[in-house]
Chains A and B, each alone.
Chain A
Amino acid sequence: MPMPDWLRHRSKEQPTEDAALWTKCPKCGEVLYRRDLSANQWVCPRCSHHFRMSAYDRISSLVDGDFTEIGSDILPADPLGWVDKKSYPAKLNADREKSSLTEGVVCGIGTIEGHRTALGVMDFHFRGGTMGSVVGERITMLLEAALAQKVPCILFTASGGARMEEGMLALMQMAKTTSAVARFMEDGNFFVTVLTDPTTGGVSASFAFQSDIILAEPKAMIGFSGRRVIEQTIRQKLPDQFQTAEFLLDKGHIDAVVHRHQLKGALTRLLEYAAAGKANVQRTRGATSA
């Protein structure tokens, strides 16, 4: 199996993204001043390329101000004593420094235009957003908190899949988060996922596709198997738009592709619909018991 796609993109984008002041758009080549790019929510003003956004930038672009983190004290261990070219703890350290994150997801409860919401945001800059024990535990804790407080939950996905360095413990996080999603949804609560670039493997095959509403960012790469694996299997090149958000929309797999600048508005409207439905349910329940 060759290098998966998300890995290839990462190595291509990194040098430009890390430059202190200037960033070159990988799509149109425009040289952008980082402060302007950040103010534009990491969308290229020239070609609308959506850069991979950090979890905290995303959270501050959505919440009204308050955000109480959940599970930030849950930190990665090294259950398999993993070593390949580097040890797993060394990789974790490097990613911590590079991303200023403690793991691949940030979870918490905040308000979005007045709606109390459980919000989880995966960040590709930490181990490619892969899901190990900590990502699974934090997301489970988030869903359990959302269930207890009966508030909607929005998850932003960005992931290369299950984290190899934690072996089967990582794969089992799909089962664990699924169980938490199912409990949350079966209780009648509203669940939205927003698929960002890239959403693949074990994450796309679990909570990403278990929600009531699935939104995606423009051109986000979304799929189960890596593009190269498929190309090798069928021995031909796939069209450029294969596995993009737009492709999935066309195939009927997702509800909508939403530009980042319109995302907060779109999510707010969804939260309003859900709140309206919940009020109906509560009113009719009251009527039957009266």
Chain B
Amino acid sequence: MNNPIMERERGLLELEKRIEELRAANASQPVDMSAEIRALEAKYAEIQREIFGQMSPWEKVHMARHPKRPTAMDYISQFEQFDELHGDRHSRDDQAIVGGLAKLHGRSVVVIGEQRGRDTKENVKRNFGMPYPEGYRKAERFIKLAGRLGLPVVTFIDTKGADPSAMSEEHAQSEAIAECLYAFSIAPVPIVATVIGEGGSGGALALSIADRILMLENSYYSVASPEGCAAILWSDAGKADEAAARLKLTANDLVGFGIVDEMIPEPLGGAHRDTAGTIAAVLNSIELALGDLASMPPERLREARYLKYRRIGQWVS
């Protein structure tokens, strides 16, 4: 599938290359081209602001799906320590869920992430980041382990949704997600969830009943995919842009509803334009949230988590 963000980036990348070439030439030649370079740089900044300064919800969905966008393992690999654990102890080690024991800024944690692939080969291995029931059972095992050990939990959300195959139905996808939700809701340790890319419906929710939910600026979190929503409502997947706008799925929208606690800004043009900077910013926000929660006793933590979700919803009475 071609990503329209990549189409737009193509011209910018050309321009970037030209600026680089001119800089190199300028350094090796007696002719002063700095005015020309400055003009090109200004042009570049102007175009970049024009293209990425005001992104529609549908454009943000594409940004969330950008193949160069940092994935869960990109974040986890920046922890000081990561001891990966495997498997659901029954039948499979689902590669769409990664997790284990880790150290973040000196703090021991359990980390769990939804992991998509960067290329076709890795995507086959990772099932395009769509967890099987075995993946949710693996996550459930890790959250219970965290509870037993008394370690806080960090999760990274990035999935189109739970795997929708016949096999996953036969292996009780509903039950696996339901049990995962249950385990997260009663975990006696702090949980900080961060939506880093796609937040696809129940498959994303399964790892995000949390005390703090953070969300990158250009990620999305939605009850249904915009394509699926458009297909159901208008029998026309081509109206996905309209659906994306109506679903209120951006970080800003969700902070407004009180569902997401903090929106983490991204560099102009998206997280992949400054991967290291984005990862540092995200890990910093997670660390601050963990610090806030660290002194809460389990009972107060669970009570606060209960009330956080208890309040969500709008009705008239």
Contact = CB atoms under 8 A, between A and B. Distances in A.
Interface of A: 1-4, 7, 73-77, 79-80, 82-85, 132-134, 136-137, 140, 162-164, 166-176, 178-183, 186, 201-202, 204-210, 222-225, 229-230, 233-234, 238, 242-243, 251, 253
Interface of A, secondary structure class, is: helix
A13 to B, nearest CB: 18
B57 to A, nearest CB: 11
Interface string B161-184: 010111011101111011101100
Contacts of A223: 169, 173-174
Interface of B: 162, 164-166, 168-170, 172-175, 177-179, 181-182, 185-186, 201-202, 205-206, 209, 221-225, 227-229, 231-235, 237, 246-249, 253-254, 257, 259, 305-306, 309-310, 312-317
B202 A205 contact: yes
A104 B231 CA distance: 23
Given A74-B317, A84-B234, 18 more contacts: A1-B225, A3-B231, A75-B316, A75-B317, A80-B247, A84-B233, A134-B315, A137-B313, A168-B222, A171-B201, A174-B181, A178-B209, A205-B202, A208-B178, A233-B164, A233-B165, A238-B166, A243-B169
B166 A242 contact: yes
10 contacts: A1-B237, A3-B231, A80-B246, A133-B314, A167-B246, A168-B223, A170-B223, A182-B186, A205-B177, A230-B164
Contacts of B305: 179
Interface of B, secondary structure class, is: helix
A193 to B, nearest CB: 10
A171 B309 CA distance: 11
A171 B202 contact: yes
The 8 nearest A-B residue pairs measured at CB:
A133-B313, A225-B164, A1-B228, A204-B174, A209-B178, A205-B177, A79-B314, A224-B173
A75 B315 contact: yes
B221 A168 contact: yes
A2 B234 CA distance: 10
A181 B310 CA distance: 12
B185 A182 contact: yes
A234 B174 contact: no
B169 A168 contact: no
Contacts of B169: 223-225, 230, 242-243
Given A210-B178, A251-B172, A7 B315 contact: no
A210 B232 contact: no
A171 B221 CA distance: 10
Contacts of A243: 169
Contacts of A229: 164
Given A140-B310, A168-B223, A206-B181, A80 B248 contact: yes
